[in-house]
Chain A
Amino acid sequence: MEKILQMKGITKRFGNIVANDKIDFELNRGEIHGLLGENGAGKTTLMNILYGLYLPDEGEIYINGTKVDIKSPHDAIEFGISMVHQNFKLIQSHTVVENVALGLRDTRFFYPTRLIEKKIKNFSQKYNFKIDPNTPVWQLSAGEKQRVEIIKAFCRDAKIFILDEPTTMLTPNETRELFRLLRLLKEEGISIILITHKLDEVIEVCDRVTVLRGGKKVDTVEIGKVDKEELTRMMFGQDIVLKGRDRYMGNFGEDLALEVKDLTVLNDKGLVAVKGVSFDIHRGEILGIAGVSGNGQKELIEAITGLRKAIKGSIKILGEDVTNMGVKEILNRRVAHIPEERVRMGIVPSMSLEENAILKSYDKSPFSNGLMLDHGIISGYAKELISKYGISALDEKVPAGTLSGGNIQKLILARELSVSPILIIASHPTQGLDVRSTRQIHELLLRKKEEGCAILLVSEDLQELINLSDRIAVMFNGSIKGIMDIDRVNIEEIGALMVGV
């Protein structure tokens, strides 16, 4: 086998997080190579390095045996590397042919699209799929847009195609079409890297697969020589400790804090993101939701917290129907929300720590009399939170945006938990935090549970879920698969459900 690409010892750090740790990666001519791993495993970083979007801190890249420096996507295209992004980078109001022409080198000044139009027609005949070069892109379906991206790569004479999660937006039929096309391209000697976290796809279409976990390479294996179980283990690791089991009590009585029934929610694009989900949480119970992000968790949480309308189903808090109530009405029912994107949503960065501490209660006594805010009381309250929750900050007047990630998260927790909540919705509460902050946040959540709070914990970190949860559900493709009591949890099973096996 001829090696078209070798990446040797690639290391990339962001601050003190190592996104890629001495990764070796090889690609043969005419193969489809899967790049498998959880979100945050380092797949996208590695491919962004190959495509010139990031420069590696260490390591070397060889193309056809020659060492190369890829400093920008422009360089990458010169070396025959093309990337099909997850969110298509097409100009909506332009036609297919105009989009393909954009960024091509040898376009003529007059009638630049004629030649390309011919190329596109040849391409679609050769590979037998329909695409009209003169349709505006906004009229195309997701699958068709993707084909345009692939044609773009093809017209640039790319020899290496990188496809980033190509099937996320596709229907099953479109996925099948895509795989057929990829196999044909492979016959032509084109090499394809398929970034994915879906095991079935890897097994269906890839020749070899490289598994990454936590920024490190686990192994590269040939598809024929492994099974799903082995791949699952490689993805999620075996070092997860089932310590939650010892704590499990099982019986929570009849007191339901949250009941979700047959809930259906649309995402921003108007597609069904949550498909008739049902579950409930008792007081004093933590329900963990495992799953790779983008499987409907965000929309589920937004529906429960009032940020998004449900189109079907019901949500009850302490037996009261709160379906499609506003955010304020729901938080007034003592629902705390620790949002996924803590800086984008959880704080107002330019405002002071103390003003952020009252974000949810600024309009209530004793902070406000309905017209004025009482800054004396607010300061005192913020100082109290700072010492109680161990937030390190110069004082309560510093802008919240200047705090570190861990301290921002502690500030959010302090604010959310001090309203003595009945229900806590925590989304990725420790993502990106150091070990110490993570432990403090875990202790806080467990203490609240003991005080009788119901907690819905959404996380991608299986170890976290297992340490904290009483029950674990897996969310995949908008549905909840199998809710398991923690004493009967099986890591392989969760891993398999997470990747849709």
Chain B
Amino acid sequence: MKRSTERILTTHTGSLPRPWDLTATLEALDGGALPDPDAFNRRVRDAVAEVVRKQLAAGVDVVNDGEQGKVGYSTYVRHRLTGFDGSSLVSQRADWADFPEALARHPRSTVSRPACTGPIEWRDREAVRRDVANLQAAVAGAPPVEAFMTAASPGVIAHFLRNEHYPTRDAYLARLADVMKEEYDAIEAAGLVLQVDCPDLAMGRHLAFPELSTPEFLKIAAANVEALNHATRDVPPDRLRIHLCWGNYEGPHHRDIPLRDILPIVLGARATAISLEGANPRHEHEWAVFREMKLPDDKILIPGVLDSTTNFIEHPELVAQRIVRYAEVVGRERVIAGSDCGFGTFARSNPQVEPEIVWAKLTAMAEGARLASTQLWRSR
């Protein structure tokens, strides 16, 4: 994995704006329609090429496919695996539940969430190969510093798609780990950095298990990390990054579990790099956690320096200040600038952040990383 050895590198969480027509197709697909496979695949390939070009133009160093062909970073697996049918109960978000009148003004749009109702097997092994081929084709002409690809963690799949088939949660997780291993290995084998998305370790606290005590939740998080480690056992840690987040939505977020509480478990994951929220008003202060809890020498951080829930374009000076705060604690070579979360977490026609603004934010990040690099490499 490339590190910030000469300057602060930039990346992002994974999902990026999709063209409107592709969004419409994905929304239809999510609703049960079956688009013409050849036309769909062609459209995705072109969209990936375009989104890679735009990342490079915006100054992003570690790029990906923007998840152009996926309906959602976690629920996409239902199209690739057998065993999912019906629907999962969508849990109430504990933070919004404290503000019922305010919630009435923030209608929630959800994607379809089937439940696991039968044995999980691969149905479409080709899907990940198409993703890999699309990305490789897109970067062939103008190689970026590095390329990555996202995949859902066993824990986040279990979070969104409830188990109604396997006898226990552990059995469900174990099966997901065994199956998803093939996708993880395929991404790594293609020479891409694998990012496994693990919001279950943070967001899971107030969305799925608000009734549990913190120690009880941490046991669940530890089981999720164990499943993740089992599933990624053949991926070298240096080719692996994980993303954790507290839910990519503009809400009160006052019930978010503190990073301090989950960090010991997060650090148990095999991944070298940890991508985490660092820009929004509920987590911006948490750089200071690393003053008290030492980041192991072999790990690097990808803090969010862009808030993915606001249409503000961060001032590059603010981006630089955020980067420098992390760099002063863990060292400049162990910081890659990122975003709090994705900019198209689920394919939908009313994104939280306007597409044109997303690209301006990424440009502001690159500019801020330049400012921070100048500062961090000048004085030594």
Q: Check if A and B associate.
A: no
